Amino acid sequence: MDDDVIEFAEPARVLSPCVNVCVLDGETGWCIGCGRTGDEIATWTTCGDVGRQTVLDRLPDRMRLLEG
């Protein structure tokens, strides 16, 4: 790579479900704001769009259980 060339990563197409309520439920380990696990939150920026979509697909069921 040339010193005068800057490479940019393509922006994520799958956006974070974070709603700034970052508290993990003690029973399930899921965030009460978005439904992700601590590991899913920690790896969100590095898991790619396919990984992010896989996580997003799980969240509606989790949130229903948390709200239940």
- Within a domain: 56: yes
- Within a domain: 3: no
Check pLDDT > 60 for residue 1: no
- Within a domain: 46: yes
User: Contact, 28 vs 62, CB < 8 A?
Assistant: yes
pLDDT tens per residue, range 7-61: 766 666 889 999 999 999 999 999 999 999 999 999 999 999 999 999 999 999 9
Check pLDDT > 80 for residue 2: no
Domain hosting residue 45, numbered range: 38-67
> For residues 28, 54, 17 and 42, what is the CA-based torsion angle, rounded to 10 degrees?
70
- Give the pLDDT confidence score for residue 41 in this predicted structure: 97
- Give the pLDDT confidence score for residue 68 in this predicted structure: 87
- Within a domain: 57: yes
- Within a domain: 9: no
Task: Using a cut of 0.75, tell me whether the model's pTM lies above it.
Answer: yes
- Give the pLDDT confidence score for residue 9 in this predicted structure: 67
- Within a domain: 1: no
The domain tally of the chain equals 1
- Within a domain: 19: no
At 36, phi and psi to the nearest 5? Answer: -80, 155
